[in-house]
Structure 1
Amino acid sequence: MPGGEPVWLDNCEDMDLDYLFGFVEAYIFSPPDMKRPFLLYRTSKNTLIFPTGEFVGVYYSKELKYAKTIGYQVTPLCGCIIQKMDPCSPFKDFVTMLSIERIKAKKKGNESQAYVYKLLMNSLYKRFGINPQTSLIEICNYQRYLKLIQTYGFVDADKLNDSYYIVNYKTSTERNPDIEWKPPKIAAVQLAVEITACARIHMYPYISREDCHYIDINSILIIGRLLDEVISSTKLGKLKLEYASYDTIYVAAKNYCFFKEGHVDVIKHKGLTKELVTLDWY
C-alpha cells in the first residue's frame, strides 16, 4: 500500500512505468475493438465512462500496469510518486478477525451482530477516503452570523431570536482559501484508492467474460459457471455463490429478478416503489 512522503515528478515520458509507484497522469490508448474496457474516465459532465481510443487521465500505477497487460498503450506524463508501506497489508489481521467473528455470529443465528461486523469491514476503506467537505450547523451571535454568511461554504441560515442565529455551512470546499483548508486528520485517500483499484483488477477477469450480463458494486451475474477454487462463502477474497440455475430479467441498474419453478422469487429493486414491484410487473 502507498505511504510515506509523496514526491512530484514532471516529464515522465521516458520513464519505465514498471518502476513508478503512486498516482500517474498518463496518455492512454485503448484498442477500439476492446468490448469490455478496463480503465474508467470521468467526463466534463461528471459522468463515469469506460472509453476506447485516446484519452488522458490520472490513475493508480497498479491499474496502469495491469491495463498494459490486456492491450492498452500507456505513456506516463507526470505523477505523485509514493513509497510502499511496510507491511504492505496493514489491515490484514484486523479484517481477518472481523471476518471470523462474523462467521461465528452467523452460525449462532445472531444476524444483527453479523451485520455489524459486515459494516465494519465494508466501511474501513471508505473511512480513509472520506470527503473533506463537511457540513456544519452552528448557533451563533449576530457578528459571527455576518461572517459565516459571507464564506464560500455558506448554505442557509435562520434567525432564532433577537440574539442568536442558526447557520448551515460547509468547510474545506474547493473555493476555500488554503488557510481555511482543514481536511479530516485521519483521512488517507491513497489507501482507499489502492483498495478500490486492486478490487477492479481482481474483478476484471470476471467482468470481461462474454457470459457476464450484469455487474454491481460487489457482484456479477453470469450464464456459465466459475471454478470451484474461486468460490467460498467463508474465505476472504473469494466469491460467494448466491443463486444458481435461475431465469433472470434485467431492467436497469439494481433492478432485476430471479425466478425458478419451486423456489421463492428473488426481486432486486432499489427505490421508493420497492414494495410494489412483483414478478408480474417484470
Structure 2
Amino acid sequence: MSLRKLAISFGVDMQKGIFPHRFVTCENLNYVGSVPAFSYFDGISLEEYNNYCRNFNNNWSLREEAVKYCISDCISLYQILIKFNQLIFDNFKININRYPTLPSLSFAIFRTLFLDKSSFVSQLSGKISKDIKLGYTGGATDMYIPTNLENELVYAYDVNSLYPSVMKHFSMPVGKPTYFEGDIRKIEPKAFGFFYCKITTPTKLNHPILQTHVKTKSGLRTVAALGTYKDMIFSEEMDNAIKLGYKFEILWGYTFEKGYIFTDFISTLYDIRLQYPKSNPMNYIAKIIMNSLYGRFGMDDQFTSTQIVHKEDYLKFEKANIGFINDVIPLTDSYLVNQNVDYTNTDLDSQSETHNINIAIASAITSYARIVMSSFKNNPNLKLFYTDTDSIYTNLNPDQMNKLFPGIVNNKELGSLKLETVSTKAIFISPKCYYLLTDDNQEIFKVKGLNKTGLSTITGKEFVQLLKKDHQVIKKQNKWFKSISESTIIIKDTLYTIKQTNNKRELIYNTRNKLINTKAYTINEDKIVKNN
C-alpha cells in the first residue's frame, strides 16, 4: 500500500504531503513563486490541489517545500511503524523489529502461536526442492473471449482470500518426503505428494487447466496448453485433471503425509478482518499477514549479501569470491558489491542459517488455488471471458451463479465469490490488459506496465481499436530512474506500447481482421508450441 493510503488507514498525526515531483530540474532548485501547475502533481485530485494552493501567495519555495515534504514523509512512516508495531504486539505478542519483511513476520506469528508441535514440517532444499519447483507455476491468468456482445453484461467476481481459503480447508504436504520410482499409485492408490509424469491432455479442451513452462517465439512462458509432455505435478491437481480426461504416466516423485497446519491461523486472522471495517488498520494488518505466509515457504534459499569494499581491497575480494558476485556499483572510494552467499565459506555467519522453507507447501497452495478456479472453466453453462489468479469475468449474474454453484456468491464467506463490477462493455486484449465500462458509466483500465500517468490518457475508443489485428496504441508515461553511484533520481518521459499478445493462447480473427476469440496452444514433447 502507498504511504499516503497507509497514513490514512493508520490514522497517524502526520499525513503524507503532496509535492510536484516532475517540476524539479537542476535549473530551478531555488524557484520561488506561484504553486506549480496541477499537471506537475501525481496521485492527487484537483480539489486537493486547490486546497494546497490556498496555503501560498506567490511565495511557494521549491527548496523549502522539498525539505518539508521529505521530513513529513519520514515522520509519517515512523508513526505508522510505531503504531503497526504496537498493534502487532498487542494482538500477537511479537516484536516486529526482529523481522525485516512481512512474510518473515507472518511466518513468526504462525510458528509462535499456531504451529502444532505435533505437526512435522520438513525443511526442503537441494535436489528435492529443485525437483518440486519444476511444477511451481503460480496463478492462472488467461484471456479467452476478447469482448462481449451488444446488450450482454459482463460480471466480474473475485474469490474472497483465495490462497488463505485453500490453506484453511485443504491438507498440506507434511512429514518427511519419500522418494519413489515408477507408478506409486499402483502400490499406494491414495499416494499424496508430487509426481513427475508423462502428461497427455484431451485433444479438445477450450480451457486447459494444467500450466507448464513452454518455449514460444517470445521466450519461456507459463501456458495452459494441449499436447503430450513431461512435468512435475501435485497429486491433488493430477486427480482433478483426470476428471476432464487428462492421462498421466507416473515416472517418479516424492510422497508426503497430510496435515491441516493452517486452519487455526487463517480462521483467527479472517475473524479479525470481519471484526473491523476496511478503514481500520487491523483489517489491513490481518489481510496482509494472512496473505504473506504462503510465499515464505517458497522463498528462494539462494540468499544474497551486499557490502561495501574499498577499491584497494577489491581485487583480493574478487579473487576470493569469484563466481558469486552479481553486481558491482562504483562509489567514491569503494564498490557496493552484491553477491550470492557462499555457503562453502566457513568464515560466513550464514553457514549456520536456518531458512525454514518448504517448496512443497507453497506449490501445494498454488495448486489447490488452481483447482478451485478450474471449477469455473469448461462448464457449458458459463461463458468465460477472462480469468486472473483469483477472479473470473463471465456472463452470469449472482442469481445464475448461485444456481449453477449453490451458495458460491457470498461477500463475506472465506473462499466464496464476491461481485466486484458489472460492465456493459468489456474488452480484454491480453492477460493484465483490459477495459471495462461499468453499468454506472465508470471506466476501468488495467494495463500491466503502464503507470498512472499513462493510464490517465488512454480512452475506451483506443481499446476498441486494439481489437484490430496488429494495431498499437503508444502512450507516454513518467518513469523514475535511480543511480546509486551518482546519488540521483531522474524522472523521464518514456513510451509504452499497448498491443495484442499471443504469449499464452492463439488469437483468432474474423475476415475483417478483428480479434474475436482465442484457442489453446498445442505443444510437443519438448514443450515447444506447434501452432504458434
1:222 aligns with 2:394: yes
In the alignment, is the contact (CA less than 8 A) between 2:181 and 2:252 conserved in 1?
Answer: yes
Confirm whether residue 194 of structure 1 aligns to residue 390 of structure 2: no
Give me the identity figure in percent: 25
Write out aligned runs for 1:114-263 (5 A).
114-140=283-309, 142=313, 145-147=317-319, 149-158=321-330, 160-161=332-333, 165-171=335-341, 185-209=355-379, 210-225=382-397, 226-227=401-402, 229-244=407-422, 246-260=424-438, 262-263=440-441
Provide the secondary structure at the position in 1 that maps to 2:361: helix
Partner of 2:226: 52
- Compare 29-38 and 135-144 and name the one that shifted more: 135-144
Q: Deviation digits for residues 215-249 of structure 1, max 9, x if unmatched?
A: 11211100123116011111111111112353212
For residue 237 of structure 2, give the secondary structure of its aligned residue in structure 1: helix
Question: Which secondary structure state, in structure 1, belongs to the residue aligned with residue 308 of structure 2?
Answer: strand
Cα–Cα, structure 1 residues 280 and 43, in superposed 2: closer, same or farther, change >3 Å?
A: closer
Match for 1:266: what amino acid?
Answer: I
TM value normalised by structure 1: 0.84
1:25 maps onto 2:196 in alignment:
yes
> Are residues 1:68 and 2:68 paired?
no
User: Contact 1:207–1:220 at 8 Å: present in 2 too?
Assistant: no
Shift of 1:77: 0.6
- Counterpart CA distance in 1 for 2:266 and 2:248 is 34
Contact in 1 for aligned 2:184/2:191 (Cα 8 Å): no
Which amino acid in structure 2 is aligned with residue 244 of structure 1? V
| Deviation at residue 264 of structure 1 after TM alignment | 2.6
Alpha-carbon distance between aligned partners in 2 of 1:14 and 1:237, rounded to the nearest angstrom: 30
SS at match of 1:101: helix
Native 8 Å contact 1:102 1:113 kept in 2: yes
Q: What's the offset of the Cα at 1:274? A: 2.3
Distance 1:260 1:26 in 2: 44
> How much does 1:191 deviate?
0.9
Q: Is the 8 A contact 1:13 1:75 kept in 2?
A: no
Partner secondary structure for residue 195 of structure 2: strand
Assess, with a 3 A threshold, how the Cα gap between structure 1 residues 260 and 83 changes in structure 2: closer, same or farther.
Answer: closer
Q: Distance in 2 between matches of 1:105 and 1:77?
A: 50
CA contact (8 A) 2:423 2:437 kept: no
Cα distance in 1 between the residues matched to 2:324 and 2:234: 31
* Distance (whole Å) between structure 2 residues aligned to residue 129 and residue 178 of structure 1: 25
Amino acid corresponding to residue 167 of structure 1 in structure 2: V
**Highest RCO, 1 vs 2 (Cα 8 Å, sep ≥ 6):** 2
C-alpha separation in 2, matches of 1:135 and 1:94: 30
- Matched AA of 1:171: V
SS in 2 for 1:241: strand
Code of the aligned partner of 2:410: S
Q: Deviations over 1:146-165 (max 9, x none)?
A: 2455123432253653xx54
Bigger Cα displacement from structure 2, 9-18 vs 120-129: 9-18
Distance 1:277 1:135, change over 3 A: farther
User: In the aligned structure 2, how far is the partner of 1:159 from the partner of 1:260?
Assistant: 52
Bigger Rg over Cα = 2
How many angstroms apart in 2 are the aligned matches of 1:139 and 1:249?
50
CA separation of 1:184 and 1:216: change in aligned 2, threshold 3 A: farther
What secondary structure sits across from 2:421 in the alignment? coil
* SS in structure 1 of the partner of residue 422 of structure 2: coil
Whether the 8 Å contact between 1:17 and 1:65 is mirrored in structure 2 is no
CA distance in 1, matches of 2:184, 2:227: 19
1:105 Cα deviation (Å)? 2.6
Structure 1 stretch 132-141 or stretch 49-58: which is displaced more? 132-141
Task: Name the amino acid aligned to 1:222.
Answer: T
CA RMSD of aligned residues (A): 2.9
Matched residue of 1:229: which SS? Answer: coil
CA distance in 2, matches of 1:126, 1:16: 33
Normalising by structure 2, we get a TM-score of: 0.47
Whole-Å separation in 1 of the counterparts to 2:176 and 2:274: 38
Deviations 1:99-142 (A, max 9, x none): 222233326x32x5433332222221111111223332112452
**1:95 and 2:266 are equivalent in the alignment:** yes
Question: Within 1, Cα distance between the matches of 2:220 and 2:188?
Answer: 28
Counterpart in the other structure of 1:6 = 177
Q: Give the structure 2 partner of residue 266 of structure 1.
A: 444
> What displacement does 1:53 show?
2.3
Establish whether residue 37 from structure 1 lines up as the match of residue 213 from structure 2.
no
Q: Tell me which residue corresponds to 2:458.
A: 277
SS in 2 for 1:187: coil
Give the structure 2 partner of residue 15 of structure 1. Answer: 186
Aligned-residue offset at 1:268 = 2.7
Distance 1:104 1:268, change over 3 A: farther
Runs of 4+ aligned structure 1 residues displaced above 4 Å come to 176-184
Q: For the Cα contact (< 8 Å) 2:301–2:355, is it kept in 1?
A: no
AA of the residue aligned to 2:336: I
